[in-house]
Structure 1
Amino acid sequence: MSLEISPAARDVLANWLEACKALDGAADNTLSAYRTDVLDFIVFLTAHHAEPQGLAPLARVTTTDMRSWMAHLRRQDIGARSVARKLSAVKSFYRWLARREGFEATAVLSARAPKFQKKLPRPLTEDAARAMIDTVEVQSREGWQGARDAAVVTLLYGCGLRISEALGLTGRDLPLGASLRIVGKGGKERIVPVLPVAVRAVDTYLRLCPFPVEPDAALFRGARGGALNPRLVSKATERARMQLGLPATATPHAMRHSFATHLLAAGGDLRAIQELLGHASLSTTQAYTAVDEVHLMKVYEATHPKA
């Protein structure tokens, strides 16, 4: 697809992605999504105008062009949420390009994303979360693999880790103590408390694991000793939730949702939970916790400085 755009457009896209990585610390998955979304936009413009889109044509994008592009996406049955994501990437690219090339990008930046209803995550109940951990442990034929999966899911629920963060742990993170330093999205570091139950779960896995602990190797190993594939954790939780009769939303990521929800329900402070989860925005934390307005108001009244 990249062959369909001009060399100038290809180069400027590559430079923008480098800037996103160097200045904003964007993760590889984010950069890949950015590249795909902006590349698709440039390819559309190339076909729409029947000519290569160099820097000058890119700077002349009109409101009509933007409407045509979004109509093109809708004809492909791309959902409103995905259209909004693509538009966000294109706007980010144009903000950078407009500053660099010195032109007004009003037509792009004023484009409105389609409205969509944000889906709140569905946390598990406390009993269901504990049952998930216990059941995951018995889904594998090999005892060490069951202990491994249970340890991973315990870290997701007990520490609020993303699955990529849990599987990113190495031998250098051992032995687990009362806290753990996590490098999350965008290279943002945070310190999370580690519950004794999580320490015990990891210790049990390490006692049974047939592979030696190595400082630079993944802590959680696959059957052949390589880094554990997150799909295997997803499959283990899928088997467990089917056995327990839990809904399809009971995924590994739902354990992180549950961590936040249960903390807030117990009176935890939103800002503190935001830090534990590694969210850049407090509004993201509120969406994760899926709490009702009454409880949010109680937290607000208890923590807001009175005049």
Structure 2
Amino acid sequence: MLADEALSLFAGHQYSQNRSEHTVVAYQTDLGQFFRFAALEQGVEPESLTVDVIDVYIVRSFLGVLAEHGLARKSMARKLAALRSFFKFLCRKEILEINPVQRVASPKLGRKLPHFLYLDQVEGLLKASDCTKLLGSRDQVIMELLYGSGLRVSELVGLNRENLDLENGLIRVLGKGNKERVIPVTNYAIQAIESYLKMRSDHNPVLLLNYKGTRLSDRSIRRILNKLVAKVSLEQHVHPHMLRHSFATHLLDGGADLRSVQELLGHQKLSSTQIYTHLTRERVKEVYVEAHPRAKNRNIP
């Protein structure tokens, strides 16, 4: 089978699995880059490349070239994940008998600690919206849900009115892999949502609307946050996911148990949530070094 045909078949499969447009395009981009490299290695035109000529050595050469060009390990791991999914699919469909990626090891990733905001910084952002105006009232809802409930941006923009159970202080969100979870909302968020909906004169089922009356996009959320950050003069770069990181960090600082935080965040694996315990440990070390007379001016192992 031609590589282009296999790519189209794989894209159709991903759409049937309810993968987002962003995910499908990202996979197609990474796989397209790989097949252009493979065609060059085989000395053929990309449009005439077939998937059966791909072997483990081509995959390893591809990763080697990416490393030589200084591509970050995280990006290499993402491209390798795309190749794994693609060739696993072809083997399952019996288009290929041997998976050329099966014996390729993933690059080891150094785990980066997520960035978060301190409580006073978050409070500044929560007070930055002009709630006397419709869009300002909407922006307040955005901030209260991103920080108060730890929503992903995709979960936030996907909310409809029917997902709200304000009487019981709950919302229903659709997370990664189309997994639904019910999470609590703060009284501040409930008040912000009720005020925002009272100011609207429409019956649109979508919760968060732009000035045109259509659903907000992920990019719109980033623009709104950037405006609020500029308004309170925060010097550091702040992205929406940082509010989710802050939500988890502040919960653990306040004594929440790891399993509960995992449930609230919608993490499938506990290891994904455990990264936040490293943040709290680092902060404890900082406080110790700064406050204890015997610990000042020395590094804590």
Q: Which TM-score bucket, shorter chain as reference?
A: 0.7 to 0.9
Find the aligned partners of 1:251 and 1:292 in 2 and give their Cα distance.
Answer: 20
Quickly say closer, same or farther: Cα 1:164–1:197, change in 2 above 3 A.
Answer: same
Matched, 1:188 2:179: yes
Structure number with greater CO (CA < 8 Å, separation at least 6) is 1
Letter in 2 for 1:152: I
Q: Name the structure 1 match of 2:249.
A: 261
Letter in 2 for 1:117: G
Is 1:103 aligned to 2:94, yes or no?
no
Counterpart selection for 1:200 from 191, 194, 214: 191
CA displacement, residues 154-194 of structure 1 (integer Å, 9 cap, x when unaligned): 10111111112111112323463311111111110101011
For 2:249 and 2:150, the matched residues in 1 are separated by 10
Give, in angstroms, the shift of residue 239 of structure 1.
3.0
Question: Deviations along 1:122-145, whole A, 9 cap, x unmatched?
Answer: 11122221211111x04x9x8211
Cα deviation per residue 1:231-283 (whole Å; 9 max; x = unaligned)? 33322322332343434342221111111111112221222211211122221
Could you say what secondary structure the match of 1:279 adopts?
coil
TM-score of the superposition, structure 2-length normalised?
0.82
Distance in 2 (CA, whole Å) between partners of 1:205 and 1:262 is 27
Quick one: which amino acid aligns to residue 201 of structure 1?
A: A
Q: Which residue of 2 aligns with 1:56?
A: 52
From 117, 123, 132, give the equivalent of 2:125: 132
- Residue correspondence of structure 1 range 21-100 to structure 2 within 5 A: 21-22=15-16, 25-51=18-44, 52-58=48-54, 61-63=55-57, 65-100=58-93
Query: Are the counterparts in 2 of residues 156 and 255 from structure 1 also a CA contact under 8 Å?
Result: yes
User: What is the aligned partner in structure 1 of residue 148 from structure 2?
Assistant: 158
* Distance (whole Å) between structure 2 residues aligned to residue 146 and residue 153 of structure 1: 11
Residues 289 and 182 (structure 1 numbering): CA distance in 2 closer, same or farther, change over 3 Å? farther
Task: Quickly say closer, same or farther: Cα 1:229–1:129, change in 2 above 3 A.
Answer: same
Separation (CA, whole Å) in 2 of partners of 1:208 and 1:78:
49
The reply on whether 1:146 has 2:136 as its aligned counterpart is yes
Give secondary structure in 1 for the equivalent of 2:71: coil
Residue 168 of structure 1 corresponds to which residue in structure 2? 158
Does residue 8 of structure 1 match 2:8?
A: no
Local SS of the residue matching 1:109: coil
- Give the deviation of 1:50 after TM superposition: 1.7
Q: 1:292 to 1:261 in 2, by over 3 A?
A: closer
Q: Distance in 2 between matches of 1:117 and 1:201?
A: 40
Which residue of the partner structure matches residue 3 of structure 1? none
Number of equivalenced pairs: 279
Alpha carbons of structure 1 residues 246 and 115: separation in structure 2 relative to 1, 3 Å:
farther
- The code of the aligned residue for 2:194 comes to D
- Give me the TM-score of the superposition, normalised by structure 1: 0.81
Letter in 2 for 1:207: K
Question: Using the alignment, how far apart are the partners of 1:269 and 1:287 within structure 2?
Answer: 13
Deviation at 1:20, TM superposition (A): 3.9
Cα distance in 1 between the residues matched to 2:150 and 2:238: 15
Give the Cα separation in 2 of the matches to 1:208 and 1:290. 42
Q: What residue number does 1:213 align with?
A: 203
